């Protein structure tokens, strides 16, 4: 069981089974919401313990697939906790317990700013991993 929370602690969650993959997205949207490295969590293993009423959602604009949840008190990005997909991203930096994983891939490398060098050997994709 892994625990996680937002910066102010209002939102608390736990994940029954450790995530099996980490990925870093370099798109401008992830960069601006302040979360780029995500753990992919199965919906059935995810439990929101506290703070549901404090989660706000930024719905995707036309042409984008993914919504972004965040804590309405402290602004922490929370991935897509309130969505309906079977597997969804939770920002790696929301976990309080250590994740025994390293980043498996980088996506949207085409949008990566020059000030953020990639310092590992993980696979890189110009956009989504399906379109290397
Ligand atoms: Zn918070
Ligand atoms: Zn992104």
Q: Domain coordinates of the chain in residue numbers?
A: 2-124
- What would be the CATH architecture of the domain defined by 2-124? Beta Complex (2.170)
Rounded CA gap, 111 and 90, in Å?
21
Q: Residue 71: nearest ligand to its CA?
A: 1
1 Cα to the center of ligand 2, angstroms: 27
pLDDT above 80: residue 63 = no
Task: Give the mean pLDDT of the chain.
Answer: 92
Ligand nearest to the CA of 80: 2
pLDDT, tens digit (0-9, with 9 covering 90-100), for 97-112: 999 999 999 999 999 9
- Counting Cβ atoms within 10 Å, is residue 67 exposed (0-12), middle (13-18) or buried (19+)? middle
How many angstroms does the Cα of residue 53 sit away from the middle of ligand 2?
Answer: 25
> Ligand 2 centre and the CA of 96: distance in Å?
22
Residue 65: predicted pLDDT = 73
Ligand located closest to 35 CA: 2
> Measured in angstroms, how far is the CA atom of residue 25 from the centroid of ligand 2?
4
pLDDT band at 132 (very low <50, low <70, confident <90, very high): very low
Average pLDDT over residues 39-64: 92
Closest-lying ligand to the alpha carbon of 51? 1
Distance 75 CA to ligand 2 centre (A): 17
The single residue listed with the structure tokens 């753990």 is: 39
3-class SS of residue 33: helix
> What's the pLDDT band for 45 if we cut at 50, 70, 90?
very high
């Amino acid at each position: 069981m892994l625990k996680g929370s937002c910066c102010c602690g209002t939102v608390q969650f736990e994940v029954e089974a450790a995530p099996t993959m980490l990925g870093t997205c370099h798109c401008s949207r992830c960069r601006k919401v302040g979360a780029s490295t995500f753990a992919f969590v199965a919906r059935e293993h995810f439990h929101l313990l506290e703070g549901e009423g404090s989660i706000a959602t930024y719905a995707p604009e036309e042409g984008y697939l993914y919504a972004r949840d965040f804590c309405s008190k402290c602004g922490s990005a929370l991935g897509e906790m309130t969505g309906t997909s079977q597997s969804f991203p939770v920002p790696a930096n929301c976990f309080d317990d250590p994740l025994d994983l390293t980043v498996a891939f980088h996506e949207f490398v085409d949008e990566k700013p020059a000030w953020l060098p990639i310092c590992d050997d993980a696979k890189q994709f110009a956009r989504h991993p399906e379109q290397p």
